[in-house]
Amino acid sequence: MLSGHEICIILSQAVYQDTIAAISTPIGEGGIGIVRLSGRDARAIAQKLFPKQLENRRLIYGHIVDPENGEVVDEVLVAYMEAPYTYTREDLVEIDCHGGILPLQRILELALRYGARLANPGEFTLRAFLNGRIDLSQAESVLDIVQAKTQASLRLAVQGLGGKLSKPIREIRSTLMDILAYLTARIDFPEDEVEEQDISKPLEAAEAMLQELITGADAGIIYRQGVRTAIVGRPNVGKSSLLNRLLRQSRAIVTPVPGTTRDTLEEVVNMKGVPFILIDTAGIIDSIDEVEALAVERSKRAIEQADFVLFVVDTSERLSDSDRQFVDLLADKAVLVAANKCDLPPLADLDELHWLQVSTSALTGEGLADLENAVVDFVLGGRVVTSDAAMVTNPRHKAALLRAKEHLDHAQIAIGERLPDDFITIDITAAINVLGEITGETVSEELLETIFSRFCIGK
Q: Are residues 233 and 210 in the same domain?
A: no
Q: HSE on the CB side for 176, CA within 13 Å?
A: 30
pLDDT at 266: 85
266 and 236 share a domain? yes
35 with 170, same domain? Answer: no
Same domain for 162 and 18, yes or no, is no
Of 1, 112, 6, 93, residue with least CA distance to 42? 93
Whether residue 33 is predicted with pLDDT greater than 90 in this model: the reply is yes
Cα 356–357–360 angle (5° rounding)?
150
The pLDDT confidence band at residue 314, using thresholds 50, 70 and 90, is: very high
Whether 24 and 65 map to the same domain: the answer is: yes
Over residues 393-425, the pLDDT tens digits come to 999 999 999 999 999 999 999 999 989 989 999
Residue 61, domain member (yes or no): yes
- pLDDT over 60 (residue 8): no
Final residue belonging to a domain, choices 331, 357, 380: 380
Q: 352: which DSSP letter?
A: G
- Give the CA distances from residue 241 to residues 51, 227, 277, in Å, rounded to whole numbers and listed in that order: 60, 20, 16
**Predicted confidence (pLDDT) per residue in 249-280, tens digit:** 665 444 454 444 445 678 888 998 899 999 88
| Same domain as 362, residue 229 | yes
CA–CA separation, 80 vs 59, rounded Å? 7
Please indicate, yes or no, if residue 450 is contained in any of the structural domains: no
Say which residue, 116 or 305, is predicted with more confidence: 116
Residue pLDDT, tens place only, 335-353: 999 999 999 998 888 888 8
* pLDDT value of position 284: 61
Same domain for 341 and 241, yes or no, is yes
**Selected residue with higher pLDDT from 386 and 132:** 132
Q: Can you give the pLDDT at residue 292?
A: 55
Cβ partners under 8 Å of residue 64, min gap 6: 49, 50, 72, 73, 74, 76, 95, 97, 107, 110
Statement to judge: residues 341 and 430 lie in one domain:
no
Same domain membership, residue 338 and residue 278: yes
What confidence score (pLDDT) does residue 16 get? 62
pLDDT of residue 104: 95
User: Same domain, yes or no, for 188 and 253?
Assistant: no
Note the pTM of the prediction, 2 decimals: 0.82
The pLDDT of residue 251: 52
Residue 121 is assigned to a structural domain of this protein: yes
How far is it, in rounded angstroms, from Cα 153 to Cα 48? 42
Residue finishing a domain among 342, 361, 380:
380
> Which H helix or E strand runs over 336?
strand 335-340
Q: List the CATH number of the domain containing 241.
A: 3.40.50.300
CATH number at residue 22: 3.30.1360.120
For the chain, what is the mean pLDDT?
87
Domain membership flag for residue 256? yes
Q: What pLDDT score was predicted for residue 1?
A: 47
Q: In the chain, how many domains are there?
A: 3
Answer whether residue 454 is part of any domain: no
Q: Can you give the residue range of the structural domain that contains 67?
A: 4-135
Q: Give the N- to C-terminal CA distance of the chain in Å, as an integer.
A: 27
Q: Is residue 323 part of a domain?
A: yes
279 φ, ψ (degrees, to nearest 5): -120, 105
pLDDT of residue 387: 53
Which pLDDT score, from 0 to 100, does residue 406 have?
96
302 vs 283, more confident:
302
**CA-to-CA separations, 277 to 157, 212, 280, 355, 382, in angstroms, rounded:** 19, 28, 10, 21, 20
Domain finish residue from 77, 107, 135: 135
